[in-house]
Structure 1
């Protein structure tokens, strides 16, 4: 079996395991039972997102994946509840560290697009939600995407309808080293966004809302070829929804945020292969 070439799934698992070793210690505390490591939990959670499946189905499939189990040193399979508890225990900060590390695996060029998209907070049927009188809200997910590698540099998630111009400044300040040019649509046309970008030595290539002929002239001077690369954001948004699902399964907002972060990490790992 070892003579067979490595599948993309096996390479994905090995890459995720490598990042996990760089990001966290093997165990959460000295009182840990040491039955499973945090590295194994991180890889299995990423694998669940990549396969777009449930904990129970993933563990059932792992029975027939000896090479995958060997790659993560998994001698016995955990219970579905063990993975669920591990997901609840791993903070958002851990997933952000892993996301930052995953960017180093890809050839970025500093030309970054910013755009927002919606993710459903449940995938219950319309018939069920109508009968129970439930209101399904969406998460607003804003992605910073490098246009060369289609890598997700950072993500911002909110349950509110905050305007794009209120979200952009914090993303710029948090990722100044990875952004040289910021591409945005008219939703990000705000003096504060431009001011923060200039302070951080980032060139904002954002179209102006046309309230006068002067705004029309400014938009006409924008480099159309460079600005056209902003479409990579729509490509990434479409890809992660088609491949990993357009909804989150968790009930609590903090776990929903973590789900989106794992999706972004999984996307970067897939791109690196």
Structure 2
């Protein structure tokens, strides 16, 4: 799907300056539970422990976080997908949501389309390895459709959520000062809220 086709079906506005106004992007990232870096932990052979993790949906046009869910890792990405997507859509309705293949699944597309009226832009690459004979087949209507009509330009906006995480860690640090899980979850929420205020202040 090209940008022009996306405008025709209402995913994007006609005005070129607003190409991203109805797009959102979702992803998750891990935070450090202290000042010890992942590199140091790997070099010293220490066991990998649980770490604070957050899921976020951001508006592609502004990088403002529409919703976030704190949790712990290592865990798969998709268990919190429905919750964070629904929370974000309730605050600021969007027409399409881009996410990486960690959120792939026909049931996710059915939720986005059926419950939120949103188009999921997620690579249909999850699952068992495919042979040459079934390389063009994907389980489910939505996943097959995306495989046949992949919206490359729209999916490129997924990097907006990576930009949000980069700003979050660069400007507000990637480590958390809190020492228990409840306080760490609260601190992650406060970091996202603080960055939102910074972004909004920069736009005004």
Name the TM-score, length of structure 1 as normaliser: 0.54
Deviation at 1:137, TM superposition (A): 3.3
Deviation at 1:135, TM superposition (A): 6.0
Which of the pair is proportionally richer in helix?
1
Deviations 1:154-195 (A, max 9, x none): 111211433222110111222333232110111111122111
2:71 corresponds to which of 141, 149, 158? 158
Question: What is the rounded CA distance, in whole Å, between the counterparts of 1:117 and 1:263 in structure 2?
Answer: 13
1:253 alignment partner in structure 2: 181
Judge conservation of contact 2:51–2:74 (CA < 8 Å) in 1: no
Judge conservation of contact 1:244–1:263 (CA < 8 Å) in 2: yes
What does residue range 136-151 of structure 1 map to in structure 2 within 5 Å? 136-151=49-64
**2:136 counterpart of 1:213:** yes
**2:41 counterpart of 1:118:** no
Give the total of aligned pairs: 162
Question: What is the rounded CA distance, in whole Å, between the counterparts of 1:145 and 1:175 in structure 2?
Answer: 8
Deviations 1:73-126 (A, max 9, x none): xxxxxxxxxxxxxxxxxxxxxxxxxxxxxxxxxxx8231101111101111485
1:71 alignment partner in structure 2: none
**2:81 counterpart of 1:168:** yes
Question: What is the rounded CA distance, in whole Å, between the counterparts of 2:181 and 2:148 in structure 1?
Answer: 42
Question: What is the rounded CA distance, in whole Å, between the counterparts of 1:271 and 1:113 in structure 2?
Answer: 17
Question: What is the rounded CA distance, in whole Å, between the counterparts of 1:218 and 1:205 in structure 2?
Answer: 8
Change (3 A) 1:234 1:169: same
Name the TM-score, length of structure 2 as normaliser: 0.71
Question: What is the rounded CA distance, in whole Å, between the counterparts of 1:171 and 1:154 in structure 2?
Answer: 6
Question: What is the rounded CA distance, in whole Å, between the counterparts of 1:257 and 1:218 in structure 2?
Answer: 35
- Mark the structure with the bigger radius of gyration: 1
Question: What is the rounded CA distance, in whole Å, between the counterparts of 2:195 and 2:156 in structure 1?
Answer: 22
1:188 alignment partner in structure 2: 103
**Aligned to 2:137, what secondary structure does the other structure show?**
helix
Change (3 A) 1:217 1:271: same
Deviations 1:12-47 (A, max 9, x none): xxxxxxxxxxxxxxxxxxxxxxxxxxxxxxxxxxxx
Point out where structure 2 has 5 or more consecutive residues left out of the alignment. Answer: 1-19, 139-143
**Aligned to 2:183, what secondary structure does the other structure show?**
helix
Judge conservation of contact 1:173–1:196 (CA < 8 Å) in 2: no
**Aligned to 2:166, what secondary structure does the other structure show?**
helix
Judge conservation of contact 1:139–1:160 (CA < 8 Å) in 2: yes
2:194 alignment partner in structure 1: 266
- Taking only aligned residues, the RMSD between alpha carbons, in angstroms, comes to 2.4
**Aligned to 2:117, what secondary structure does the other structure show?**
coil
What does residue range 94-133 of structure 1 map to in structure 2 within 5 Å? 109-124=21-36
Point out where structure 1 has 5 or more consecutive residues left out of the alignment. Answer: 1-107
